Structure 1
């Protein structure tokens, strides 16, 4: 795998001062630079292929990992284990680290259900609880307080955060944006905040709470999964069209084919959910947009509004399809180089 692919897939900084993970010993708990240590470990494992496998979700079988994995439409997920020496298992949720990881024991490879931990791609935040078919069902937020090498596999020290809050799986649909809509996703809460945009006339925007490395997850873009004909109508005024078309993303056309998503499906954030008092589970809809009214009217005249494309005005970032732990398949905003306080 070339350097460009390493950056695309792993989004790793160059780290030289972190001790390698000894395959035959248990190390001391490390509570400094936890994320960098885990990133470096993953980089070494992917490069060497040591203890790395591909797990087939359809038949629960493991296959050898190969370096051309990302160039192919291979739907199997990367799995790391050292069964002879360790009970710990790490498994990618999707094809990219921006989808997060499942962390648990060897039962993860055999059972359809059990108690495991979803680790967000920041490698600092997680959700610990009950899973069915590798999907989080309900549980509590956890913080990664420490990590150590245990027989060649990284072990995590997890601490429960906000035990009074139980997160539950709830896929967003055309009619349901979520019963937890007034809670901020744990990763969002650690990563971004809402403020007045520095772009004139843009209203509110999201700002970075911390420094992001290239390819880091900044924010999730969630909302109602619907179709344009459900909110863009032929009899709308210019102002109504501009308002209705200002908070949606063409989801289906940008999804990988193996997701089997209708290409006309969009993610929309209508009123009143544009107000963070009413919806703040994900904050990607607060990215500043630029939707040309002329383009909306053009397709309105042709009665072909389903072809309207969203036009994001986002600097130093890109949007990609990703998998949220309890909301399911969404869009992620991925970082370029963003200093603290950068506005989108």
Structure 2
């Protein structure tokens, strides 16, 4: 709080390298409440936020370093954008990114300080329509309920929102600390996930179940989370497994530690796994990215990492092109072709045979076919 008092004083008095922002909302006007296309309007506004270093231009803002817990005018991978405007009394309308990793969502609140600690703060998913309203401590979601954003308006450069609670009987609680566990709600689908994707019969030969888009997406959109069980290979890849058992155990896990930003301090050996007994949606359906089938070409998503509001760091799939509602989702698993399951090897050879001429294919497959 002491750091912010100094910074706030500087906002009103200092000249020079003070950070200010401009947005699509006028800085000197309050608009009427809007209830149409609320998510789209909020997303366009958020993407319009532009930091500037010009006095008497826009309004004061800052970057917030979540590791050092201090404000700064310098942007880097450890900082997130923070903006606020006086509302009434000492109350402020405040917005802050959760993380610099794209698609990690934002926090909104009306409060007297900038710590984002309180019982009535809002986490907003990257669709800018779905939210969790409840208790936060220093910007970390602790518990709350699902909500939808039902209205928005411009308020002197920032957006103000109204929310409506849904499914009040389901209390979401932070379980980011839980290792070797599916979390606290394995059979309750995440609020964002429920609106984004669904599981159906894949169109791929022998594809089994696949994942499908429940709405339209554009390139860069978060499509689905990959949470599951945070664990280590030693907990399920045993030395006495047969080859078939090894590939079965291996089938639904992702090398999460290798993918994660170092600032998250995820152990490099950590993986996210969906164990055999949890691979049916009747046993686990909180997140569904693990149901995405593989293609070598013609994919429409890619693997990524993201901060989830109550799971913390997790993997995800992100759209790489426009995806229409009802389309099946595909991602390249990117296995090592010299160390991969038999089905993957078979598909790779088929793919290469279509992609290159016979002479090249014969060279590439030499020593590869058993």
Global fold match (TM > 0.5): yes
Could you say which residue in structure 1 is the equivalent of 2:14? none
Could you say which residue in structure 2 is the equivalent of 1:34? 38
Task: Tell me how far apart the structure 1 counterparts of residues 257 and 26 of structure 2 sit (CA, whole Å).
Answer: 44
- Bigger radius of gyration: 2
Deviation, 1:205, is 1.3
Could you say which residue in structure 2 is the equivalent of 1:338? 323
Moved more, 194-203 or 123-132: 194-203
Deviation, 1:47, is 5.8
| Alpha-carbon displacement from aligned partner over 1:239-278 (angstroms, at most 9, x marks no partner) | 2122111100000011111112211110000022111111
Moved more, 31-40 or 211-220: 31-40
| Alpha-carbon displacement from aligned partner over 1:211-262 (angstroms, at most 9, x marks no partner) | 0011111000011111122212232223212211110000001111111221
Task: Tell me how far apart the structure 1 counterparts of residues 116 and 103 of structure 2 sit (CA, whole Å).
Answer: 25
2:309 to 325, 332, 341: 325
Deviation, 1:105, is 2.1
SS where residue 218 of structure 1 aligns? strand
> 5+ residue gaps in structure 1?
1-18, 291-311
Greater RCO (CA < 8 Å, at least 6 residues apart)? 1
CA RMSD in angstroms comes to 2.3
| TM-score, length of structure 2 as denominator length | 0.75
Deviation, 1:33, is 2.2
> 5+ residue gaps in structure 2?
1-22, 330-370
Deviation, 1:114, is 4.2
Task: Tell me how far apart the structure 1 counterparts of residues 290 and 309 of structure 2 sit (CA, whole Å).
Answer: 18
2:81 to 61, 78, 82: 78
Deviation, 1:97, is 4.1
| TM-score, length of structure 1 as denominator length | 0.80
Contact 1:288 1:314 in 2 (8 A): no
Could you say which residue in structure 1 is the equivalent of 2:72? 63
Contact 1:45 1:52 in 2 (8 A): no
Matches within 5 A, 1:1-344: 20-46=24-50, 50=58, 51-58=60-67, 60-64=69-73, 69=75, 72=76, 74-83=77-86, 87-107=92-112, 109-110=114-115, 112-171=117-176, 173-289=178-294, 315-336=299-320, 337-344=322-329
Number of equivalent positions: 299
Deviation, 1:92, is 0.3
Q: Which runs of 4+ in 1 moved over 6 A?
A: none
Moved more, 254-263 or 28-37: 28-37
Deviation, 1:57, is 2.7
Contact 2:221 2:319 in 1 (8 A): yes
